Amino acid sequence: MRAFAVVVHWGHPGPAVALASWLADSPSVDGVTVVANDAGPRPADLAAEIGWLVPDRNLGYAGGFLAAVETRPDADCYLLLNNDVRLTEDTLGECLGLAAGERVGVVAPTLVNDDGIQSAAGTLSRLLAAPRVLEPAGPTARNVDWVTGAALVIRGDCLREVGLDGRYFLGFEDVDLCYRARDAGWRVVLTPRPAWHRGGGSIRGDRYVFYIVRNRLWFGRSRRWRARTALIAAWSALYFLPRMVVGDVVRGRRPACAPLALHGLIDGLARMPPGRAPRADEPRPARWISW
């Protein structure tokens, strides 16, 4: 099984060019497209056979991936990557081999950074659906609840059946995909084979605060977890938001995170947009801070 590879890009083009060039040379890959969510021009040193797709607006992680999928809607398998991920041919081959297994829909490597394991198998806390992504990978591949979206192999049939929700824009789209895949009878598999993630440089941490609050509420609502969603909203209002206020005051954070948490809570409880496309005004935090 070979994969159509999609690299979702933001920021300096160097990492995306390096990753896409490596993928284009891989015997496991059947086509590569980079989605430039920052609307950056095609780099002069990018090989001609590599696609450089510039959407008419920033589509976020899932939305950017889906824009590339539209150019290859019938692929047997898709490889979705952040531009700051690196992997080996052995890891890619292992993931694709697992994806060929019976009812395997999603496969991920174990992400490693300079401090060791960054994320492996994911779980959600019982009451507040808080992501937990630091479980040990284990010695062999195994079925898990969900896997981190920075490096994913997605079986084409699985993607076409359950889709990917671009409304999240940044965060929780990986959790949502894996849960819906498992609901439909697909397996989500983690391999201990590593991929290296140098992430965090292109998007500042304060930008995530809004999405941490809003997207967890949206996920709970999409699952029809009424009681848990109410608990998430209460926790966000009574603990997380005050914590952001204190942090802003004590650390003198600029821009302040508390307004982003508040807007995330308001948006998370407001009417969710129809369909699975990102909102026309994303990224929403750009209304309150520089993006």
pLDDT per residue over 78-97, tens digit each? 999 999 999 999 999 999 99
Give the pLDDT band (50/70/90) at residue 133. Answer: confident
**What is the Cα–Cα distance from 93 to 192, expressed in whole angstroms?**
13
Q: What's the Cα-to-Cα distance from 153 to each of 98, 156, 157, 199, 271, rounded to whole Å?
A: 9, 9, 12, 19, 32
> Which of the pair, 150 or 134, is modelled with greater confidence?
150
CATH architecture of 3-197: Alpha-Beta Complex (3.90)
Backbone angles phi, psi at 63, to 5 degrees: -65, -40
SS3 204: coil
| pLDDT tens per residue across span 223-234 | 999 999 999 999
Is the model's pLDDT at 171 over the cut of 50?
yes
Residue among 254, 278, 259, 130 nearest 204 (CA):
254
Which of 284, 243, 286, 239 lies closest to 264, judged by CA? 284
Q: For CA atoms 220, 224, 227, 233, give the dihedral sign.
A: positive
Residue-wise DSSP of 155-199: EHHHHHHH---GGG-SSSHHHHHHHHHHHTT-EEEEEEEEEEE--
Of 283, 21, 33, the C-alpha closest to 170 is: 283
Rounded CA separation 91/98 (Å):
11
- 11-47 pLDDT, tens digit per residue, is 999 999 999 999 999 999 999 999 999 999 999 999 9
Handedness of CA 20, 215, 212, 159 (dihedral sign): negative
Burial of 102-122, coded b for 16+ CB within 10 Å and e otherwise, reads eebbbbbbbbbeeeebbbbbb
| % of the chain beyond a pLDDT of 70 | 96
Return the closest-CA partner of residue 79 out of 100, 103, 42, 106: 106
Give the distance between the most distant pair of CA atoms in the chain: 53
Burial class (CB in 10 A: 0-12, 13-18, 19+), 280: exposed
pLDDT band with cut points at 50, 70 and 90 for residue 201: very low
Q: Token match 């967890």: residue?
A: 216
The model's pTM is 0.94
